[in-house]
């Protein structure tokens, strides 16, 4: 019966699917009518999801909604989560983790592309001119859960009971936001030509895993450039490791020659994702440039 059971609303840990749409919208925050439309539509997301998922209950349709810092107070009229704030840009020597506009995030996923399309159509019809589309990215599963760089993506995700421990805010963390989760997205465009000019060994040193077998490599010696795997391992001041849940997906169009990875990370503690991103962009494993308090939220 599991394949015929609709996925509960806002299930961050919904199954990985073959298709996803990442939809970011801006809300007319100064317009009372727009706010009312947004609030009414968000209240109806469960019903919209059922309208779509009932067409194929085996397709694992799910939609998770995120509300941004700037829109939270006007849209929800609820206490603010303890760590919620506008995204802070992280500047590295070559790249920047940018901050872009966006008040609402819809993470729409299913095994069938048409279900994602139909839900998005009904959703935007309901929202009307209360919102504007900031970004719409369609992701797809690439072979055996690999990114377009050719490596398996998501190996470090928590599994089993560790998923809930990593992504769900607890009463002890923040009573007003217990049961929620923080989400951060970034849209990365890859220079595949430059990447393919690297040898497989060079690529593996960058990622920290073997390309074919997905076997974890040892950390580079001190003083040498650390791999993505090493930089993305986050510990607090007491040495306890913290995980996030990634549901990244490749996107791209050979015709437009734009290819990349849509990063989406859910976490119980926002500072964990922020520190991970800061390390990735500043290449600073010693946290000289990436200092976040682990006592928040």
Assign 3-class secondary structure to 104-166. Answer: EEEEEEECCHHHHHHHHHHHHHHHHHHEEEEEEEEEECCCCCECCCCCECCCCCCCCHHHHHH
Structure confidence at residue 39 as a pLDDT band (50, 70, 90)? very high
Nearest-5° Cα angle at 102, 242 to 9: 60
Residue 293, pLDDT above cutoff 60:
no
Count other C-beta atoms under 10 Å from residue 118's C-beta: 18
Residue 1, pLDDT above cutoff 60:
no
Residue 9, pLDDT above cutoff 70:
yes
Tens digit of each residue's pLDDT (9 = 90 or more) over 213-262: 999 999 998 878 899 999 999 999 899 999 999 999 999 999 999 999 99
Residue 3, pLDDT above cutoff 80:
no
Q: What is the mean pLDDT of residues 65-89?
A: 97
Question: 13, 147, 153, 174: which is the annotated catalytic residue?
Answer: 153
Tens digit of each residue's pLDDT (9 = 90 or more) over 159-212: 999 999 999 999 999 999 999 999 999 999 999 999 999 999 999 999 999 999
CA distance 176 to 159: 26
Q: What is the mean pLDDT of residues 114-137?
A: 98
CA distance 95 to 178: 35
Burial of 29 (0-12, 13-18, 19+ CB in 10 A): middle
What global pTM score does this model have? 0.94
Residues 6+ apart with CB under 8 A from 255: none
Supply 34's token pair: 């727009």
Count other C-beta atoms under 10 Å from residue 250's C-beta: 20
CA dihedral 25, 31, 36, 39 (to 10 degrees): 30
Q: What is the pLDDT of residue 5?
A: 67
Tens digit of each residue's pLDDT (9 = 90 or more) over 47-76: 999 999 999 999 999 999 999 999 999 999
Q: What is the pLDDT of residue 294?
A: 44
Tens digit of each residue's pLDDT (9 = 90 or more) over 11-32: 999 999 999 999 999 999 999 9
Per-residue DSSP letter, 209: B
**Summary mean pLDDT of the chain:** 94
Query: Is 153 annotated as catalytic?
Result: yes
Closest alpha carbon to 236 in 206, 176, 276: 276
Q: What is the mean pLDDT of residues 109-120?
A: 98
Q: What is the pLDDT of residue 6?
A: 79
């Amino acid at each position: 019966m599991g394949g015929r059971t609709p996925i509960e609303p806002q299930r961050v840990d919904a199954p990985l699917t073959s298709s996803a749409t990442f939809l970011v919208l801006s809300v007319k925050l100064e317009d009372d009518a727009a706010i009312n439309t947004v609030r009414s539509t968000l209240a109806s997301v469960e019903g919209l999801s059922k309208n779509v998922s009932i067409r194929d209950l085996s397709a694992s349709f799910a939609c998770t909604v995120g509300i941004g810092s700037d829109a939270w107070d006007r849209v929800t009229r609820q206490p603010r989560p303890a760590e919620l704030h506008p995204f802070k840009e992280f500047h590295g020597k070559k790249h920047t983790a940018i901050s872009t506009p966006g008040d609402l995030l819809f993470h729409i996923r299913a095994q069938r592309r048409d279900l994602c399309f139909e839900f998005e159509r009904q959703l935007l019809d309901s929202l009307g001119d209360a919102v504007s589309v900031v970004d719409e990215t369609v992701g797809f599963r690439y072979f055996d859960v690999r990114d377009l760089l050719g490596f398996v993506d998501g190996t470090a995700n928590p599994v089993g009971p560790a998923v809930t421990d990593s992504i769900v805010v607890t009463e002890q963390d923040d009573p007003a936001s217990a049961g929620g989760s923080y989400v951060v997205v970034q849209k990365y465009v890859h220079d595949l030509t430059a990447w393919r000019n690297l040898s497989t060994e060079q690529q593996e040193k960058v990622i920290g895993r073997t390309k074919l077998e997905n076997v974890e490599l040892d950390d580079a010696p001190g003083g040498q450039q650390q791999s993505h795997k090493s930089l993305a391992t986050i510990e607090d001041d007491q040495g306890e490791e913290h995980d996030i849940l990634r549901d990244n997906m490749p996107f791209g169009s050979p015709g437009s020659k734009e290819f990349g990875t849509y990063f989406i990370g859910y976490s119980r503690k926002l500072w964990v994702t922020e520190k991970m991103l800061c390390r990735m962009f500043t290449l600073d494993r010693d946290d000289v440039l990436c200092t976040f308090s682990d006592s928040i939220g």
